[in-house]
Chain A
Amino acid sequence: MKNLKKLLALSLAFVLAIGVSACGSSTKDGGSDTSASGKEVYRTLDEIKKDGTINIGVFSDKNPFGYVDENGEYQGYDVYFADRLAKDLGVKVNYVSTEAANRIEYLQTGKVDVILANFTVTEERAEEVDFANPYMNVSLGVVSRDDNVITSLDNWNKDDSIIVISGTTAETYLTKNYPDIPLQKFDSYATAKEAFENGTSVAWANDNTEVIAFSLQNKGYTVGIPELGSADSIAPAVTKGNDTLLNWINDEITSLGEENFFHADYEATLADTYGMDYEDSLVVEGGKTE
């Protein structure tokens, strides 16, 4: 009985100690989150500089654009650019792993300063966030298995479904233009690809860059529809109204154009997958599309 009491007293003290220290550390976290934000949700260029860390939202499961390698380092075309942005800004970079459907949300709630997650510019999105100048061309594409290559979305067999990722332009496009095609929706690249490989759907619709990469990286797949919908571009995005940061990124993209930065980025991150054939069609240099 006496031992039990001691044990109880000890565990109670332990619990309280953890509670107090946890409260302390959690308020510290909260402080750094809110201190800079003030009234606006976003942080201006100066505030980011003063803080010394920029929060950039990237994909962590979209090889070769944004992914995490076996040593836990973020890699890919978007990340290569993000690293450079942070370096030229003179701050450290904190990567925030994002899913397609969360990108707008993350900016609007100030959880990240910039989204560099292969973000296609669309009118609807431009009403919610501010896009900087583009750094890549993109369109939609559809990849399917070699034994059942899909080359057209017309006369669709309703028993078949297409995989899309929630919150992508492919989802919006198919919902709007082909409302009768059954969609199988996933919330991350990792799960969508896994399900497509496992054969749950006949096709996967996404950015054509991504489906082409998939067909090149995996045997047995063909991109039957390489271009669908309009030709779009991919650009960094910031919270609406964050002009200081937006202008700085635009200037940065322009000056990076002079050293052909995005071609170097392509060669460092995408050439392994795409070869050199796609370099000129994919890369946008200096923020100017043709």
Chain B
Amino acid sequence: MLDLGLDVLLKGTNMVRLLQGLWVAMQISLVSIAISMPLGILAGGLMTMKNRLVRFIFRIYLEFIRIMPQLVLLFIVYFGSTRVFGWNLSGESASVIVFVLWGTAEMGDLVRGALISIPKHQYESSEALGLSKLQTYRYVIIPQTVRRLIPLAINLITRMIKTTSLVLMIGVVEMLKVAQQIIEANRMTSPNAAFGVFLIVFILYFLACWPISMLARYLEKRWR
């Protein structure tokens, strides 16, 4: 029989630990997304403001965050912040900070895109119907924006979950690090563990992200 090295997962609490590792990753992304949603909506609103300075500042922020690989941002916050500001961050808090910065930028851009995608005549028609500005937003603009936004925001969640695989590199013990530990502790008894364990990690990431992607696609189709 071909030894795929799957047996190590049945030893001790290995499988449970792997799932706990996934849960760490999920927690980081869920907390980050929960914080970046309101912040991103705020940022998106500010980005559509007429004030040039505000728009310029947000533009720089957005471009920088989106251009830098997330791994670089993680390194800057995790190692750089202590050097420059004397903050002492755990790997987990550093990850949440980076993911919130990144999530806010992405979310802000999505909100901005959704807001400017609402045709001007919608505003004008509402006004013609005698709706106040508040009412226009409350009953016309925001419901439409939200419909366009939610599928994209859900997609952002899967992107975050996938990106959490990087936090391994700043010392957070998440699923990949647990996988390495399991392989290392069983190197003698199960030399092919690297195949089986990394395969399971691959599948678990897929199982975590796929349903969320499906939901996003379903909502996108339904609300379009």
A15 and B35 alpha carbons, distance in the complex (Å) = 8
Task: Verify if B191 is at the interface (C-beta below 8 Å from A).
Answer: yes
Task: Verify if A33 is at the interface (C-beta below 8 Å from B).
Answer: yes
Task: Verify if B114 is at the interface (C-beta below 8 Å from A).
Answer: no
Interface size on B, residues (CB 8 A): 41
Task: Verify if A276 is at the interface (C-beta below 8 Å from B).
Answer: no
The answer to whether A61 and B96 touch across the interface, beta carbons within 8 angstroms, is no
Taking CB atoms, residues of chain A closer than 8 Å to B186 are 70
Task: Verify if A19 is at the interface (C-beta below 8 Å from B).
Answer: yes
The answer to whether A110 and B37 touch across the interface, beta carbons within 8 angstroms, is no
Interface string of B30-43 (1 = CB under 8 A from A): 11001101100000
A41 and B182 alpha carbons, distance in the complex (Å) = 33
Task: Verify if A177 is at the interface (C-beta below 8 Å from B).
Answer: no
A70 and B12 alpha carbons, distance in the complex (Å) = 5
Taking CB atoms, residues of chain B closer than 8 Å to A108 are 82
Taking CB atoms, residues of chain B closer than 8 Å to A105 are 79
The answer to whether B187 and A218 touch across the interface, beta carbons within 8 angstroms, is yes
Checking A67, A72, A188 against B17 with a beta-carbon cut-off of 8 angstroms, the contacting residue is: A72
Checking A29, A60, A69 against B90 with a beta-carbon cut-off of 8 angstroms, the contacting residue is: A29
Task: Verify if A34 is at the interface (C-beta below 8 Å from B).
Answer: yes
A63 and B183 alpha carbons, distance in the complex (Å) = 11
A46 and B154 alpha carbons, distance in the complex (Å) = 47
What 8 A-B pairs come out closest when comparing CB atoms? A70-B12, A190-B180, A109-B82, A18-B34, A68-B181, A61-B184, A22-B31, A70-B11
The answer to whether B88 and A110 touch across the interface, beta carbons within 8 angstroms, is yes
Residues on B close to A: CB < 8 A? Answer: 8, 11-14, 17, 30-31, 34-35, 37-38, 79, 82-83, 86-90, 92-93, 96, 143, 146, 169, 171, 173, 177-178, 180-188, 191, 194
Taking CB atoms, residues of chain B closer than 8 Å to A33 are 88-90, 93
Q: How far is the CB of A60 from chain B (nearest CB, A)?
A: 5
Checking B96, B180, B185 against A69 with a beta-carbon cut-off of 8 angstroms, the contacting residue is: B185
Task: Verify if A97 is at the interface (C-beta below 8 Å from B).
Answer: yes
Within 8 A of B (CB), among A101-115: 102, 105-106, 108-111
Taking CB atoms, residues of chain A closer than 8 Å to B86 are 41
Q: Given the known inter-chain contacts A63-B185, A97-B177, please indicate yes or no for A187 contacting B169, CB distance below 8 A.
A: yes
Checking B8, B146, B177, B188 against A217 with a beta-carbon cut-off of 8 angstroms, the contacting residue is: B188
A108 and B14 alpha carbons, distance in the complex (Å) = 33
Taking CB atoms, residues of chain A closer than 8 Å to B13 are 70-72
14 A–B contacts, CB within 8 A, in A order = A5-B143, A16-B38, A63-B184, A67-B185, A71-B13, A99-B171, A111-B82, A111-B90, A111-B171, A187-B169, A190-B180, A190-B183, A193-B184, A194-B194
Q: How far is the CB of A282 from chain B (nearest CB, A)?
A: 20
Interface string of A133-147 (1 = CB under 8 A from B): 000000000000000
Q: Given the known inter-chain contacts A190-B180, A197-B191, please indicate yes or no for A23 contacting B35, CB distance below 8 A.
A: yes
Q: How far is the CB of B195 from chain A (nearest CB, A)?
A: 10
Taking CB atoms, residues of chain A closer than 8 Å to B34 are 15, 18-19, 22
Q: How far is the CB of A106 from chain B (nearest CB, A)?
A: 8
Checking A4, A98, A190, A191 against B171 with a beta-carbon cut-off of 8 angstroms, the contacting residue is: A98
Task: Verify if A96 is at the interface (C-beta below 8 Å from B).
Answer: yes
The answer to whether B88 and A37 touch across the interface, beta carbons within 8 angstroms, is yes
Taking CB atoms, residues of chain B closer than 8 Å to A193 are 184, 187
The answer to whether B83 and A109 touch across the interface, beta carbons within 8 angstroms, is yes
Task: Verify if A26 is at the interface (C-beta below 8 Å from B).
Answer: yes
Taking CB atoms, residues of chain B closer than 8 Å to A80 are none
A41 and B82 alpha carbons, distance in the complex (Å) = 9
Q: How far is the CB of B201 from chain A (nearest CB, A)?
A: 13
Task: Verify if A10 is at the interface (C-beta below 8 Å from B).
Answer: no
Q: A189-B184, A190-B183 are in contact. List 10 more A-B contacts (CB 8 A).
A: A15-B37, A70-B186, A71-B12, A71-B13, A111-B171, A190-B180, A190-B181, A190-B184, A218-B187, A218-B191
Taking CB atoms, residues of chain B closer than 8 Å to A111 are 82, 88, 90, 171
A110 and B83 alpha carbons, distance in the complex (Å) = 11
